[in-house]
Chain A
Amino acid sequence: MADAPDMMQVNNVSKAFGEDWEREMVIENLSLKIRRNQLTAIVGPSGCGKSTVVNLLAGFEKPDSGQILLDGRPVTGPSKDTLVVFQETALMPWLTTYQNVTFGPKLRGDIPRDQLKEAADSIIETVGLKEFRDKYPLQLSGGMQRRAELARALINQPLVMIMDEPFRGLDAMTRQLMQEFYMRLCEQEARTNVFVTSELEEAIILADSLVVLSNRPATVREVVQIDLPRPRNLEMLSSSQAYEYKRHAMEMLHEEALKSFKGVGSSSDFLESYSRRP
């Protein structure tokens, strides 16, 4: 795995937002490698610029400086090779599950019609939505919507699948089921994934490598290789190895989170006591 060149390279990327007189650095000198056929999880304090990283990787935004390479070539704009599963569901509400899943291939015309139907039906079955094939997104539950969106992404066979907190907002039960489902999916077929989340446990159990971002302006604080054995399951979270990863990452995250409250006085007392919690 290590001999193949990295799927994506982020080299010294910076990005600022705002008018000239109040320009605010969101990303500063961020460098990062996305390994082929691995799941790279990105965690960071809330609001640190995770979605901005996603937008840069996907080509929705251009970096102010620095360079992003996909398979050796610079990313110029959105394409199906850097496919994003969004933080909020972005299924087209006017299309049924099936129509949503076939949306991309149909427009690009890169899968022949008869094959497309087969491929779509099989992927819809994989995500367990066979009976909801002809329903509209608003008729699906939150978890089903996420799975439909996964199916819509998977059928395009992107070089990199980028997920921006895909399970945020799901209830704990559904979230666990989705994590298990996604774990299976990643283990069945080699894929390159970028998985952004604010849930540390979720990141650890899914990831091959865990990127911890610093507070804003975001840069890479540390990359932790997660060597939990595969195939994985959620129980592994209680292993001492996972606990060690968690403790280590948590320490960094708390340190980073505290930075947003520096000099605020009373609230930093509160946060310090919060960070001392086990």
Chain B
Amino acid sequence: MSNQGVSGHAPTGFQYFLYKTWKSLKTPMPYLAFAGIGLWLLTYFLLNEYWKIFPFFKIPGPVEVITEWLSRDPIWGTSLFTEDYYINIWVSCRRVIIGFALATVLGVPLGLFMGWSKKFKDYTFPVLETLRPIPILAWVPLAIVMFSGFETPIIYLATLASFFVTALNTMLGVESIDESYFRAAGCLGSKKRHVFINVVVPGSLPFIFTGLQISIGVAWFSLVAAEMISGDYGLGYMIMASYMVNKYTTMVMAMLTLGLVGWITSAMVRAAGNRMMRWRAKALGQGGV
């Protein structure tokens, strides 16, 4: 909303992204972010590699990890230039995407109906509330018994964990919609299904996307837990496997990779949310990530 009064055409797609990026460079945000990361790396370096303080010296330091990460000929066998690094990232990403997508496709409609229909909620909510508090790790044995191989149980666990979050948030989202919107829709002559599409769905979007951001984090969390217990590939497996054979440098590298990839995925969810809720993002005057 920089060009007030002037009805210039709004940038779209990639142009919009560039515009937002350019604008964000004029705010302190990116510089603070870099400063924060720099400070963290410096502390890590000082504790670990410079002063070598207990217990930090027991783990690989930042210089060591970054050198290894960027090395064409890594000491421990994995870096940005080896294929298995990307295979692990890709395998984990694929699992998270499938799990997250399944959870969204199932959880959002379920939550919408639970919030919308008292009767439906009375049927389903007790079951959901009983299953939801069971920690995802407690589902691991069951998943292994139910499904063969590595892929299906891991995806199952990721789906399950994020499904609960999504369904619950969506339901709360519907319940948070102000009664006056329903009344307004009612006297404008909406039938029930119209109200569902035109009030319930858009009205709960803010909660749904809050839920989705949490849910993709939960998907990563349970995925990695599952991969660490039983896996063949993936970042969780990479962490566990390198730990087993004392490749701590590779282990830390995998952890940091996980963090970065996780950040990117939730930023993507956030961006999608802001895109779908322009009415809100605009009002708040902020543009994502």
Residues on A lying within 8 angstroms of B by beta carbon are: 58-60, 77-80, 82-84, 86, 88, 90-96, 103-104, 107-108, 136-139, 152, 156
Contacts and interface: CB of A to CB of B under 8 A. Distances in A.
Given A95-B202, A107-B188, A136-B283, 18 more contacts: A78-B183, A78-B187, A80-B187, A84-B183, A86-B183, A90-B184, A92-B202, A92-B203, A94-B277, A94-B279, A103-B188, A103-B198, A104-B189, A107-B189, A107-B194, A107-B198, A137-B279, A156-B189
B280 interface: yes
Interface of B: 1, 178, 180-181, 183-191, 194, 198-199, 202-203, 205, 277-280, 282-283
20 contacts: A58-B183, A60-B183, A79-B189, A88-B180, A90-B178, A90-B183, A92-B181, A92-B184, A94-B202, A94-B205, A104-B190, A107-B190, A107-B198, A108-B189, A138-B279, A138-B280, A138-B282, A139-B282, A152-B188, A156-B189
Contact of A93 (B185, B187, B279): B279
A68 B187 CA distance: 16
A253 to B, nearest CB: 27
Contacts of B184: 84, 86, 90-92
Nearest to B277: A94
Nearest to A87: B180
A91 B185 CA distance: 10
Given A80-B189, A136-B279, A92 B183 contact: no
A252 B279 CA distance: 46
Contact of B187 (A83, A88, A92, A95): A83
Contacts of A82: 187
Nearest to A136: B279
Q: Select the residue from A93, A138, A156 with max chain B CB neighbours within 10 A.
A: A93
A111 B1 CA distance: 34
Contacts of A139: 1, 282-283
A83 B180 contact: no
Contact of B188 (A96, A137, A138, A156): A156
Nearest to B197: A107
Contact of A79 (B1, B187, B277): B187
Nearest to A103: B188
Contacts of A84: 183-184, 187
Contacts of A59: 187
A58 B282 CA distance: 34
Contacts of A107: 188-191, 194, 198
A83 B178 CA distance: 18
A77 B182 CA distance: 13
Contacts of B199: 92
A82 B190 CA distance: 14
Contacts of B198: 92, 103, 107
Across chains A and B, which 5 residue pairs bring their CB atoms closest together, nearest first?
Answer: A104-B188, A138-B283, A78-B186, A90-B180, A136-B279
A50 to B, nearest CB: 16
A78 B179 CA distance: 14
Given A86-B183, A94-B277, A136-B282, A80 B202 contact: no
Contact of A94 (B188, B191, B203): B203
A86 B180 contact: yes
Contacts of A92: 181, 184, 198-199, 202-203
A107 B189 CA distance: 7
Nearest to B199: A92
